[in-house]
């Protein structure tokens, strides 16, 4: 452990400047964007929290903008714009590619929630949400490539990264066919959305509906202002510009939110991890989920485990439940995004968010809780780590094949034929 | 030794052997616990450095590019003089 941590600590790619706390420039540390503006102490802390609240507000507004822009662009016939993705495998690959490119499943799921509220059929959205789960595993795999200089560390790190890949690939291999055959996720998410929306869903639905209406009403003025401000753009392009602005805003907000939450939550996250050490796998799942909710990024939490696994401080078997928890924790972003809509749009938006949540919960129950199946990602990741540490071409083929070539070729083949 | 059948293990020796077995099992368990505590202490020490690890938990593109450069070099094989 310490050799890798020491090396990366001593030779950071982007060393931060010396700090008032006496840290040397060689020790990377978390820096709030507001710190760069000269804020310190209580003012910085307050600014960080205000930044988080503003970030969530902008996230919800951006999702609303995407929904509105999609309606404007498609004029009620969303299927035609996404006709190329009506093949579920292509929609899956779109989810993988977009998430791999943005390195953020939260961005893909939030955008998808907005598109569904704007009229995108849920049948197209479900494979895209499943693809987001696979695409997000690219980040920690790329992080592990940075440890390739030391063979033993790389073997451990690459296995720790790809156990997440294999878990999510197996999850899709199980649940995409079930979805196509029985509509498992569509039906269960529709039921859950109905129970938590509308006037006939009881007290819980009324509270959520009321909260959603308040939030949607609060974010609508800004969303409408952008819509009116871009009205001069003619026809379909008006909607497309709104979607592009919404996606850009989500990317920026997720990025800044991640930085702020890391600074604000590092203490609590450390407490969660300390409490999980020495306990069973369920504590690992819970700590992975809790930490991901705190920093709003499964990429961050799973990437965090790479140096810890590479050094040998945490075993593959200990990292595995943590990544499963990260999958569940990251679904919170889409649930927050769904609050961008009120009325009838709220139910479909929530349904899309519930698809992501239910998929990850089902996957954890089926793969992680069934003893024989639970070992599959571990065995596959151990094997791949072994062969990749002996021949790096395996690692390169895995990264390029799973995250770039197979999705791109499948999409190209569908478009051409 | 009274009442011990000829050739049988004396009760005292049997008791001593049992005590040794128990002691060895206890020592093995203590070693396992010690190792576990050391491992957990190392893990707690790493979690204490969480801020540093979180700051580093990002993709470093120069390292990724270096990795693929290495792979290409390996695939091309060693340069012959």
User: Average pLDDT for residues B67-76, to the nearest whole number?
Assistant: 90
How high is the mean pLDDT of chain B? 85
Predicted confidence at residue A363, as pLDDT, reads: 96
The pLDDT tens digits for A297-313 are 899 899 989 989 998 88
Domains in chain A, number: 1
Predicted confidence at residue B9, as pLDDT, reads: 62
Structural domain includes residue B22: yes
> What is the distance between the alpha carbons of residues A358 and A344, in angstroms, rounded to a whole number?
21
A298 by Cβ neighbours in 10 Å (0-12 / 13-18 / 19+) ranks as: buried
Question: Which residues of chain B make contact with A308, given a CB cutoff of 8 A?
Answer: 46, 53
Structural domain includes residue A33: no
Domains in chain B, number: 1
Structural domain includes residue A414: no
Q: Is the dihedral of CA A15, A263, A105, A229 positive or negative?
A: negative
Helix (H, G, I), strand (E, B) or coil at A108: helix
Structural domain includes residue A14: no
Q: Is the dihedral of CA B26, B29, B35, B37 positive or negative?
A: negative
CB contact under 8 A, A30 and B54: yes
Is the pTM higher than 0.95?
A: no
Residue numbers of the domain that contains B17 = 11-76
Structural domain includes residue A12: no
Q: Name the residue of chain A whose CA is nearest to B53's CA.
A: A304
CB contact under 8 A, B54 and A5: no
Structural domain includes residue A328: yes
Confidence class of residue B77 from pLDDT cuts 50, 70 and 90? confident
- The closest of A135, A73, A144, A70 to A109, measured between CA atoms, is A135
Residue numbers of the domain that contains A126 = 44-136+144-406
Question: Which residues of chain A make contact with B52, given a CB cutoff of 8 A?
Answer: 9, 27-29
Structural domain includes residue B72: yes
- The closest of A195, A184, A46, A197 to A127, measured between CA atoms, is A184
Structural domain includes residue A358: yes
Q: Which residues of B touch A (CB under 8 A)?
A: 36, 39-40, 42-44, 46-60, 62-64, 67-68, 70-71, 74-75
Better pLDDT: A99 or B10:
A99
Return the HEC string of A160-189: HHHHHHHHHHHHHHHHHHHHHHHCHHHHHH
User: Average pLDDT for residues B57-81, to the nearest whole number?
Assistant: 84
Question: Which residues of chain A make contact with B77, given a CB cutoff of 8 A?
Answer: none
Structural domain includes residue B4: no
Over 50: is that where the pLDDT of B64 sits? yes
Does residue A168 contact residue A134 with C-beta atoms inside 8 Å? yes
> What is the distance between the alpha carbons of residues A378 and A398, in angstroms, rounded to a whole number?
16
Predicted confidence at residue A378, as pLDDT, reads: 95
Structural domain includes residue A176: yes
Predicted confidence at residue A22, as pLDDT, reads: 42
Question: Which residues of chain B make contact with A277, given a CB cutoff of 8 A?
Answer: 40, 43-44, 47
- Below-50 pLDDT ranges, chain A: 1-25
CA angle A340–A341–A342, rounded 5-degree value: 135
């Amino acid at each position: 452990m310490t050799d890798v941590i020491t090396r990366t600590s001593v030779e950071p790619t982007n060393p931060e400047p010396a700090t008032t706390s006496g840290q040397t420039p060689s020790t990377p540390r978390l820096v709030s964007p507001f710190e760069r503006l000269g804020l310190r102490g209580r003012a910085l802390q307050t600014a960080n929290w205000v930044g988080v609240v503003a970030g969530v507000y902008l996230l919800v507004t951006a999702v609303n903008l995407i929904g509105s822009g999609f309606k404007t662009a498609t004029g009620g016939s969303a299927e035609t714009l996404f006709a190329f993705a009506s093949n579920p495998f292509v929609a899956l690959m779109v989810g993988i590619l977009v998430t791999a490119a943005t390195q953020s499943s939260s961005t893909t799921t939030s955008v998808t929630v907005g598109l569904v509220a704007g009229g995108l059929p849920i049948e197209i959205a479900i494979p895209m949400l499943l693809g987001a789960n696979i695409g997000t595993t690219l980040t920690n795999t790329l992080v592990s490539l940075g440890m390739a200089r030391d063979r033993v560390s790389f073997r451990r790190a690459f296995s720790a990264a790809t156990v997440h890949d294999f878990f999510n690939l197996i999850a899709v291999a199980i649940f995409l066919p079930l979805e196509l055959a029985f509509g498992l996720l569509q039906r269960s998410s529709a039921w859950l959305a109905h129970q938590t929306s509308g006037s006939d869903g009881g007290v819980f639905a009324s509270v959520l509906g009321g909260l959603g209406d308040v939030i949607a009403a609060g974010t609508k003025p800004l969303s409408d202002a952008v819509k009116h401000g871009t009205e001069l753009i003619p026809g379909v392009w008006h909607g497309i510009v709104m979607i592009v602005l919404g996606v850009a805003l989500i990317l920026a907000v997720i990025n800044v939110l991640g930085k702020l939450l890391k600074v604000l939550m590092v203490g609590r996250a450390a407490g969660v991890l300390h409490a999980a050490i020495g306990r069973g796998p369920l504590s690992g799942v819970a700590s992975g989920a809790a930490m991901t909710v705190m920093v709003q990024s499964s990429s961050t939490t799973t990437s965090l485990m790479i140096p810890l696994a590479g050094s040998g401080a945490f075993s593959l078997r200990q990292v595995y439940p943590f990544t499963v928890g990260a999958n569940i924790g990251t679904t919170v972003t889409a649930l927050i995004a769904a609050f961008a809509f009120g009325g009838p749009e709220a139910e479909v938006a929530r349904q899309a968010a519930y698809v992501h949540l239910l998929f990850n919960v089902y996957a954890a129950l089926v793969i992680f809780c069934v003893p024989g199946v639970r070992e599959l990602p571990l065995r596959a990741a151990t094997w791949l780590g072994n062969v990749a540490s002996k021949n790096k071409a395996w690692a390169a083929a895995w990264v390029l094949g799973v995250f770039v070539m197979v999705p791109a070729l499948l999409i190209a083949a569908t478009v051409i034929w | 030794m009274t009442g011990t059948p000829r050739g049988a293990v004396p009760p005292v020796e049997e008791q001593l052997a049992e005590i040794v077995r128990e002691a060895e099992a206890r020592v093995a368990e203590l070693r396992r616990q010690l190792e576990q505590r050391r491992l957990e202490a190392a893990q707690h020490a790493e979690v204490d450095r969480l801020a540093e690890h979180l700051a580093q938990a990002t993709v470093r593109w120069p390292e990724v590019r270096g990795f693929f450069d290495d792979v290409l070099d390996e695939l091309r094989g060693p340069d012959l003089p």
